[in-house]
């Protein structure tokens, strides 16, 4: 009976977290698509800008005359400056998208925290109940005690793993 209750508590956490795991997966796919779209858009824009810069440069005899007069160098410097500004713009766009995505992910994580806290409270209460039960036990309960000790050690290990995992990647 006690073992079933323990399994029920574990199962309730999984059931409560399942919608958030689905939201997380959907959010990851959405973010991945956004990143791919941004990179594609930036690459297309870069090619168009390069084409525009190339068209500014004189060709043929006019190119030779532009080099002699110094106009070619001015156009080249202008093109290089615009290229650098475009690279900065693209980096800023990418960083803005990263910041938005992180905020969305953190908002989802904040929704999960109350569920994890409630589960932790249930586990603490369960451990207290088990301790009380163990105080009332008779010799036939030793097997149950070993199982509960094993479960308690498992929970502690999972908690430590979870804390280490949370430091690197939340849910």
State the Cα–Cα distance between residues 22 and 102, nearest whole angstrom.
Answer: 17
With CA atoms as reference, report the closest residue to 152 among 169, 135, 130, 167.
130
pLDDT 10s digits, 63-84: 888 888 988 889 999 999 999 9
State the Cα–Cα distance between residues 119 and 12, nearest whole angstrom.
Answer: 8
- Length of the chain in terms of residues written: 171
At residue 169, does pLDDT exceed 90?
Answer: no
Q: What value, to the nearest 5°, has the Cα angle with vertex 85 and ends 81 and 91?
A: 145
Any idea where the domains of the chain sit in the sequence?
2-168
pLDDT 10s digits, 117-154: 888 888 888 877 777 776 666 555 666 666 777 777 77
Q: What is the pLDDT of residue 122?
A: 85
With CA atoms as reference, report the closest residue to 90 among 50, 48, 40, 42.
42
């Amino acid at each position: 009976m006690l073992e079933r209750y323990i399994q029920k508590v574990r199962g309730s956490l999984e059931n409560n977290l399942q919608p958030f795991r689905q939201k997380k997966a959907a959010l990851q796919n959405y973010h991945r698509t956004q990143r791919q779209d941004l990179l594609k858009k930036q690459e297309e824009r870069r090619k168009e800008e390069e084409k525009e810069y190339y068209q500014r440069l004189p060709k043929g005899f006019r190119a030779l005359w532009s080099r002699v007069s110094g106009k070619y160098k001015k156009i080249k410097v202008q093109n290089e400056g615009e290229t650098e500004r475009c690279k900065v713009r693209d980096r800023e766009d990418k960083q803005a998208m990263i910041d938005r995505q992180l905020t969305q992910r953190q908002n989802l994580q904040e929704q999960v925290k109350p569920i994890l806290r409630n589960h932790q409270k249930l586990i603490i209460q369960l451990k207290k109940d088990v301790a009380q039960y163990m105080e009332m036990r008779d010799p036939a309960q030793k097997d149950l005690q070993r199982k509960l000790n094993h479960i308690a050690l498992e929970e502690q290990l999972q908690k430590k793993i979870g804390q280490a995992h949370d430091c690197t990647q939340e849910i």
